[in-house]
A and B are shown apart, each in its own frame.
Chain A
Amino acid sequence: AQSVTQLGSHVSVSEGALVLLRCNYSSSVPPYLFWYVQYPNQGLQLLLKYTSAATLVKGINGFEAEFKKSETSFHLTKPSAHMSDAAEYFCAVSPGSNQFYFGTGTSLTVIP
């Protein structure tokens, strides 16, 4: 069975501080993993995806995520938060079938 757990439905960071959004997954097969971001009144936008190549994946807007098989994790990080990073972030796993399995989302607030 596939599932995704995102720890922390709300995360607040100061501008310029490290952003760390946690994602743990469960998958019966080697997974493909994704992070999406949703800005207000917009659709989900792909930040990055892991497809079994390099375990450290770089995405757009300075975000990156590291696939750790031993920890079944795919945490999203950004060294320095910007006000424009305030949004909701979703982790998703695809076991190779057509449907994606999403976490419940993490709302990121950036404090000036």
Chain B
Amino acid sequence: EAGVTQFPSHSVIEKGQTVTLRCDPISGHDNLYWYRRVMGKEIKFLLHFVKESKQDESGMPNNRFLAERTGGTYSTLKVQPAELEDSGVYFCASSQLRGTDTQYFGPGTRLTVL
């Protein structure tokens, strides 16, 4: 069974540019999560999808971040325009059930904004 995959693994962009990160969850997992880790700090929750619906987006930093999950399969996270403080590692996770069910994480996308 394939795990959670993320693309790209690394992205280096300049301030003001746009970047789109993609996450493919484990097949059959309705729940998809985005997290971010800024260097040296904790991994922080960004948002949660149940199928194609946003269940909780309380962790999204601001309106420069837009997440979508059309069709309830893969998800994208777009940052537009990117700022220096957006640099970090963006993790995607999926789970079969919500709540305390184990979340399975992808390898992350390392975003560097110059």
Q: Is the beta-carbon distance between B48 and A98 smaller than 8 angstroms?
A: yes
Q: List 18 A-B pairs, Cβ < 8 Å.
A: A42-B107, A43-B3, A43-B107, A44-B93, A46-B104, A96-B99, A98-B33, A98-B55, A98-B99, A100-B103, A102-B35, A102-B42, A102-B44, A103-B42, A104-B40, A104-B41, A104-B42, A105-B42
- Complex: how many Å from CA A68 to CA B42? 23
Closest 5 CB pairs of A and B: A99-B45, A44-B105, A102-B43, A32-B100, A43-B107
* A residues apposed to B, CB below 8 Å: 4, 9, 32, 34, 36, 41-46, 49, 51, 90, 92, 94, 96-105
Question: Mostly helix, strand, loop or mixed at chain B's interface?
Answer: loop
B14, CB-defined interface residue at 8 Å: no
Given A43-B3, A104-B42, 17 further pairs, Cβ under 8 A: A32-B100, A41-B107, A43-B106, A43-B108, A44-B105, A46-B102, A92-B43, A98-B31, A98-B33, A98-B48, A98-B55, A98-B98, A100-B35, A102-B35, A103-B42, A104-B40, A104-B41
Q: Is the beta-carbon distance between B100 and A94 smaller than 8 angstroms?
A: yes
B46-63 at interface with A (beta carbon < 8 Å): 48, 55-56, 58-59
- Complex: how many Å from CA A56 to CA B59? 32
Q: Is the beta-carbon distance between A43 and B43 smaller than 8 angstroms?
A: no
Q: Is the beta-carbon distance between A94 and B40 smaller than 8 angstroms?
A: no
- Complex: how many Å from CA A4 to CA B27? 30
Q: Is the beta-carbon distance between A94 and B3 smaller than 8 angstroms?
A: no
